[in-house]
Amino acid sequence: MHELSLVTSIIEISEAKAREHRAASIRTIKLRLGEFASVVRDALLFSFEVARRGTLAEHATLEIEDVPLVTRCRSCGSAARQTDDICLVCPGCGLPLEIISGEELQVEYIELD
């Protein structure tokens, strides 16, 4: 359960940006969250409710864009969406697959009032 410390960072990053623009409050925080980032979306949203109190994000919405885990074989080039039973070995070539997306954990933008 490291979502609370992650949410604290999300708010700090967002507040720093808002302060650069002398904003009094943040309306929206947009986060990109990869499936392969080991972060639980619901726990993140719950932690946000607690952590935003007394910050510029007190009345903000945390919008989360889920980024799927997509892999590609460097050898044969085949790309695939990985879901439940993750296998990072190419079924065709037997070589390790490259992760193209799914590890994101990034504040994309904020919206100010």
Partner 1 sequence: MNRLAVQTGVLQANQEKAAENRALFDQEKLLAINLMSSPGSGKTSILESTIRALKGCYQIGVIEGDLQTSLDADRIRALGVPSHQINTGTVCHLDARMIARALEEFPIGGLDLLFIENVGNLICPSSYYLGEDLRVVVCSVVEGADKPKKYPVMFNKADAVVLNKMDLIEDSGADLQTLIRNVQEVSPQARIFALSCRTGEGMEGWLHWLRQKMESRAPAASAKAGG
Contact footprint for partner 1 (CB under 8 A): 1-2, 5-6, 9-10, 12-14, 17-18, 21, 23, 27, 31, 36-39, 85-89, 95-97, 105-113
We find the least distance from the C-beta atom of residue 16 to partner 1, in angstroms, to be: 9
We find the least distance from the C-beta atom of residue 48 to partner 1, in angstroms, to be: 12
Give whichever of 77 and 91 is closer to partner 1, judged by the CB atom. Answer: 91
Give whichever of 23 and 45 is closer to partner 1, judged by the CB atom. Answer: 23
Region of residue 3 (phi > 0: left; psi between -120 and 50: alpha; otherwise: beta): alpha
We find the least distance from the C-beta atom of residue 53 to partner 1, in angstroms, to be: 19
In angstroms, the Cα distances linking 71 to 41, 78, 79 are: 22, 8, 5
What distance in Å separates the CA atoms of residue 30 and residue 108, rounded to the nearest whole number? 5
Give whichever of 15 and 53 is closer to partner 1, judged by the CB atom. Answer: 15
What distance in Å separates the CA atoms of residue 48 and residue 51, rounded to the nearest whole number? 5
Q: How many CB atoms lie within 10 A of CB 62?
A: 21
